Structure 1
Amino acid sequence: MDVNKLLQLFYEYLQMERNYSQYTVTSYRDDLDQFVIFLQQQGVSSFSGVSYADVRIYLTELHQKKFSRKTVARKLSSMRSLYRFLMREGYCQDNPFVMASLPKREWALPQFLYEEELEQLFAAVDGTVPLGQRDLALFELLYATGIRVGECCSLKLSDVDFTVGTVLVMGKGKKQRYVPFGSCAHDALQNYIEDGRAKLLKNAQGETALFVNAKGRPLTERGVRYVLQQTIEKAALTMKISPHTLRHTFATHLLNEGADLRAVQELLGHAQLSTTQIYTHVSKERLRSVYMTHHPRA
């Protein structure tokens, strides 16, 4: 079967059977499109015609293009997933990527904010105007729950339960989870919903999205990054901060205060505990402090 038709079948499989998000499917598409271009350059017309020698040449090209180890590992994972699908469906007999070794992963420590820096960020928001009330509620919720920016933008007003203090989040793979939030996020959200959001929706009645922009339309991920960057400049914070920084901060602060790693995994919506364990590296500073303070011979 034609290469493009096989790829289309694979993308449908990812969406329909694996419940992958559109963002994840797009990442697969980018990786596989690059591989198809490589095959055309090599004169290989089908996936079944790819040999291990071709794989070695492809990996060499990736390294020559200065791709990071993490990126190469992701591309290899995409190829392996494709070939597992092709073999399952009977379009290929062998997986030429099965012998390709994944490069060791680079563990970059997540960037996070200290409590003083968080206070600076929150203090830079003007809570007397509708957009400021929205921004404060947005930042408080991101820090209070550790949810991803995409998960935050997809929240509906009905997903917030003030009675028990939880928000219903649709995570990766369309998996739902309830995440609690504390009193600071509660107050900021309530103030925004009752005052700021109502004013922003004066020309867009019926909108169900929790966070809206100045025109009363759903706030996008790009919009969240923009308002966060603007607030950072007002707060005179010199470090580079993204919405994901607040997620890193959430996890790091919990672990520093003694939270169970598996509980943090559930709150973050990580499928694998190993993904959550990267935050324990950040918390070693806290562990050393505890040791030096409490060990008799420290």
Structure 2
Amino acid sequence: MDENVNISLKLFIEYLQIEKNYSQYTIEHYQKDIREFFMFMSEQSLKCLEEVEYVDVRIYLTKLYEQGYARKTVARKISCLRSFYKLLLREGRVEENPFSLASIPKGEKKLPQFFYEEEIAQLFDVCEINTPLGQRNKALLELLYATGIRVGECAKIVLKDLDMDVSIVLIHGKGNKERYIPFGSFAHDSLTMYMNDGRKALLSKGDAHHHLFVNHRGGPLTERGIRGILDKMIEKSSLSGKIHPHMIRHSFATHMMANGADIRTVQELLGHAFLSSTQVYTHVTNEYLRKSYMNHHPRA
């Protein structure tokens, strides 16, 4: 295959990192999607990106469906490739975008999954605070649940972003947008213990730096590392079913609205650019209240 194909991919990755400020986790998914399309090009004897036409896109879509991919996954792959070609068109590396006419299948609207309050309590119960790593994990979980921040945003926090006197953290979100989020006494106490004890013990094993959360070697804790910690917490708890770390963010929003927070406040705390992204929690909250009613009302 033409060497320009790999050069174009490198250009796109730099665009996602610098211009779009996407997380490494998202970039890895985009890179995987594009490399899979490169394999398809080889199978179809397409040597360069300029040779791809709309008919090839239709063949690729058919192949994805035959492989059993969910509609949401297919939509993500096509959206990624459309953005890829859009950049190449902007940079003059291709003359047209064959994905511009490809219709992205609409996925089923599913309500975000969340933990009930008693389930969140089970996660906190598995946290040990008699070791440096245990203190870190407890502080990590407390802060995520107290603020509803994304895992990627959590990994970026440095010590100067925290104002412990007023319990506020500065979050660097998507698109270089910043927002301040308050956190409660539980998170404050766990963070204080971790920073005064556990973090110092872990830093003694590595180079000094200003990241809030550190790994077992004393280096900055990555987004992937945080996901791994949360996965292990969930495994240690008695929770079952399909669970992912992002459910902590969904739980934060659901519990806030169930307890009377207005939607605009939740939107600002979550860092949503559009209110429509936050409105889904209105439906989640209704279901949450319905189940609580059915479980607790004596004549439900």
SS at 1:36's partner residue? helix
Find the counterpart in structure 1 of residue 78 from structure 2: 76
- The alignment yields a C-alpha RMSD, in angstroms, of 2.7
Quick one: percent identity of the two aligned structures?
56
Amino acid at match of 1:65: Q
CA distance in structure 2 between the aligned counterparts of 1:65 and 1:271, rounded to whole angstroms: 34
Aligned-partner SS, 1:277: helix
When the two structures are aligned, how many residues end up with a matched partner?
A: 292
The answer for the alignment partner of 1:246 in structure 2 is 248
Shift of 1:31: 1.6
Q: What is the distance in 2 between the residues matched to 1:114 and 1:20?
A: 30
Gaps in structure 1 of 5+ consecutive residues? 293-298
User: Which residue in the other structure is 1:94 paired with?
Assistant: 96
Please, which moves more after superposition, 266-275 or 241-250?
A: 266-275
Residue 98 of structure 2 aligns to a residue whose secondary structure is coil
CA distance in 1, matches of 2:207, 2:101: 57
Mapped contact 2:111–2:284 kept (Cα < 8 A): yes
- After the TM superposition, which residues 177-216 of structure 1 pair with which residues of structure 2 at under 5 Å, given as runs? 177-204=179-206, 206-216=208-218
Separation of aligned partners in 2, 1:285 and 1:20:
32
Provide closer, same or farther for how the CA distance between residues 171 and 97 of structure 1 changes in structure 2, counting only shifts above 3 A: same
1:287 to partner: Cα distance:
5.9
* Whole-Å separation in 2 of the counterparts to 1:156 and 1:113: 28
Deviation at 1:124, TM superposition (A): 2.8
Contact 1:142–1:243 (8 Å) recurs in 2:
no
Preserved CA contact (<8 Å) 1:107 1:278: no
Equivalence for 1:165: 167
Report the Cα offset of residue 180 of structure 1.
Answer: 1.5
Work out the CA distance in 2 between the residues paired with 1:204 and 1:75: 39
The structure-2 alpha-carbon separation of the partners of 1:162 and 1:110, relative to structure 1 and needing over 3 Å to count, comes to: same
Q: Post-superposition shift, 1:80? A: 1.5
Partner of 2:149 in structure 1?
A: 147
1:12 counterpart residue number: 14
- C-alpha contact (below 8 Å) 1:137/1:188 kept by paired residues: yes
Q: Give the TM-score normalised by the residue count of structure 2.
A: 0.85
Q: Which moved more, 1:224-233 or 1:113-122?
A: 224-233
Q: Distance in 2 between matches of 1:24 and 1:40?
A: 25
Equivalent of 2:31 in 29, 32, 37:
29
- In structure 2, runs of 5+ residues without a counterpart are 295-300
Partner Cα distance (1:72, 1:129) in 2: 44
Instruction: Tell me how far apart the structure 1 counterparts of residues 42 and 273 of structure 2 sit (CA, whole Å).
Output: 36
| In structure 1, C-alpha distance between the alignment counterparts of 2:111 and 2:250, rounded to whole Å | 10
| Alpha-carbon distance in 2 for matches of 1:63, 1:99 | 18
Letter in 2 for 1:259: A
AA partner of residue 118 (structure 1): I
Q: Cα gap change, 1:130/1:14 in structure 2, threshold over 3 Å: closer, same or farther?
A: closer
- CA gap of 1:73–1:234, structure 2 versus 1, over 3 A, is closer
Secondary structure (helix, strand or coil) at the match of 1:153 reads helix
Aligned to 2:298: none
Report the Cα offset of residue 43 of structure 1.
2.2
